[in-house]
Chains A and B, each alone.
Chain A
Amino acid sequence: MSEWIAIGALALVAVGIPLGMMAASAILRPSVPEQGKSATYESGEIPTGSARVQFNIQYYMVALLFVVFDIETVLIFPWTVIYRSALSQGASLATVLLPMLVFIGVLVVGLVWAWRNGAVEWVKSPLAKRRKTERQDA
């Protein structure tokens, strides 16, 4: 009973505040509906067509790369936790730093490879495209 009350109260407050704010603004603001306001927000552009469009494949490629490289940084986390205490306990800088450098190095090789193979180019250059089609035709 005891220690969970605080958490329950916190949850209650966390839900209550936004609800209260929305309620307050709904009461205070004037309501003037018009077409421009109900349109989908597209950074000022006028929305055309449906939202179900096929994205360029490069979009997914970058997304994939992001997921992978982003998650790899999680592995740096435990290292940072022990880094300082390991140094202070007398481990040499090489023992502590080198493994992480190797790890980053491997990631860099992967990134360079992906870059060179065009995975991070937002739009493929016409030159590369032409080369590719030539090779396929050959």
Chain B
Amino acid sequence: MAGALALQSGPLPDWTAVSPALILALTGLLLFVIDSIDSDSDNTVLLAGLSTVGSLFAFGVAGWFLVEGTGQAATGGAISLYGDALVVDGMSLFFTLIFTIVAAMVCIASLDYVAEQRHQAEFFSLVLFAATGMTLMSMSNSLATAFISLELASLPSYALVAYLKDNRGSVEAALKYFLIGALSSAVFAFGISLVYAATGSLLLSDIASSLGDADGMTGILGMGVLMLLGGFAFKTASVPFHFWAPEAYEGAPAPISAFLSSASKAAGFAIAFRVFVEAFPLGQLPAGVDWVLAFQVLAVVTMTLGNFAAATQENVKRMLAYSSIGHAGYALIGLAALTAGGPNANVLGASMAHLLVYGFMNTGAFLFIALVEYWGVGTTFEDYNGLGARAPMACVAMSVFMFSLAGLPPFGGFFSKYVLFYSAIEAGFWWLAAVGAVNSALSLFYYSRVVKAMWIEDAAPTLELGSKPVGLYTAVIFAAVGTLLLLPAFQPVIETAQTVATALF
């Protein structure tokens, strides 16, 4: 490929473009080595610090690449590697930013959360391997790498959900997550095999070019496409593959819930965006393989189901789990509002920007739950009564997350949701935006319950909070600051997202 890295110090070799993934994987291996050398060590600070530094380093490299225009039109277009199996372009780098920053926040927060547990090195290395898998997902340019990287992200996640192996909730969550995950990956693999049967290739670009020859195999191709969609729907927790999500998020250690609901979901979208846009471009599809319609159905059902179910929860963590399903529905608009020749890059870019903002606010919200779990306060809304007086700073941060998730104006979530709905209308899908707006109205109800409980209700007299854990606090405040900073910084974000999305079409 001619697309060499244009850096000040001269071009780097092409293979360095995957260095964010390499850094994550090497850090994970390094943790294994450390654990092999000193398998009884419980030096949490070293382990958490190392993994945070690794994630941030990967974040920095990805950000640097993005700013320098690596893999973008300005420097010669996307960089393809390993026989086109991987591709590094603006979109993959953008998503890498989401994964790495979420991973960094989760690692910092886990400093306090896993301090009492055994097998700490494994915890952090699994997080890093999962992040590696997600990064590779965003770079996959072939259904083979898509499947492998998806599994690479999923397998550590199963183990992480089961991390508290003496806790029934954690084990049950892992069981459900794993069983539904295994079923979904089988469906996904079968879908790949059907697409291969219809087109004779696994490379996205080759699939696109042989779509026209697939006469007589339309049914096979259509089934394959829908089954692929199922695999991505599992990763993004979209209906009807969402069933694992409420339990997995509720039962898993809270930092892991944060990781799964933010980064893992974004990864599912990253790969779905690329696969559907590159391999099954609108306008070249044989009649009868209308995946846009499928995504419209899923988007509407997903956001409605998520929000309605969230409205009646008593458990805050489970409420957030359902709200996370609802947000998957919003992000699905990015694929549901595409038309041949429409303003597709704007729609897709808006969805990407929403996922970035969501990465901050949702991670923060789950980490706040981790903080509450750390204090041993209960899980229901009532148990949150009066927390605002005891831990004002964290509760201010939580209020920011809640209002931002609901899409109230002075916060980052407002802009991303606004631009998302706006772009949907721009593409002519005003009814998608309308359903989204109605659901947002409903979501305000349950998000404000948390805020009300924290600030307005009186605390139970027995409410006693323990110490203020440094790591969790750092991560929560960082996420809050990020959510707020994304308001003034929204312009470059949306601009970047829409520019890199343009390259896909």
- A residues apposed to B, CB below 8 Å: 106, 109-110, 112-113, 115-118, 131, 135
Contact = CB atoms under 8 A, between A and B. Distances in A.
Contact of B39 (A109, A110, A117, A135): A117
Interface stretch (B28-36, B94-102, B478-486, B497-505): B28-36
B36 A116 contact: yes
B36 A113 contact: yes
Contacts of A112: 36
A109 B35 contact: no
B32 A109 contact: yes
The winner among A110, A113, A117, A118 for most chain B CB atoms within 10 A is A113
A60 B364 CA distance: 39
Contacts of B29: 106, 109
A131 B42 CA distance: 14
Nearest to B125: A113
Nearest to A99: B82
A135 B29 CA distance: 26
A131 B32 contact: no
Interface string B26-61: 000100110111011000000000000000000000
Interface of B: 29, 32-33, 35-37, 39-40, 118
A116 B39 CA distance: 7
Nearest to A112: B36
A113 B35 contact: yes
A107 to B, nearest CB: 11
Contacts of A113: 32-33, 35-36
A110 B39 CA distance: 13
The winner among A112, A115, A116, A131 for most chain B CB atoms within 10 A is A116
Contacts of A106: 29
4 nearest A-B pairs in the assembled complex, by CB-CB distance: A116-B36, A113-B36, A113-B32, A116-B39
B498 to A, nearest CB: 37
Contacts of B118: 135
B273 to A, nearest CB: 29
A108 B347 CA distance: 46
A131 B40 contact: yes
A114 B37 CA distance: 11
Contacts of A115: 36
20 contacts: A106-B29, A109-B29, A109-B32, A109-B33, A109-B36, A110-B32, A112-B36, A113-B32, A113-B33, A113-B36, A115-B36, A116-B35, A116-B36, A116-B37, A116-B39, A117-B36, A117-B39, A118-B39, A135-B40, A135-B118
Contacts of A110: 32
Given A106-B29, A109-B32, A117-B35, 4 more contacts: A109-B29, A109-B33, A112-B36, A116-B39
The winner among B29, B36, B40, B118 for most chain A CB atoms within 10 A is B36
A135 B41 CA distance: 11
A61 B84 CA distance: 38
Contacts of A109: 29, 32-33, 36
Contacts of A116: 35-37, 39
Nearest to B35: A113
A63 B32 CA distance: 21
A109 B35 CA distance: 11
A116 B121 CA distance: 13
A110 B118 CA distance: 19
A118 B118 CA distance: 14
B29 to A, nearest CB: 6
A10 to B, nearest CB: 29
A112 B40 CA distance: 15
Nearest to A117: B39
A83 B35 CA distance: 35
A135 B42 CA distance: 11
A86 B29 CA distance: 30
B457 to A, nearest CB: 39
Nearest to B34: A113
The winner among B29, B32, B35 for most chain A CB atoms within 10 A is B32
A47 B29 CA distance: 46
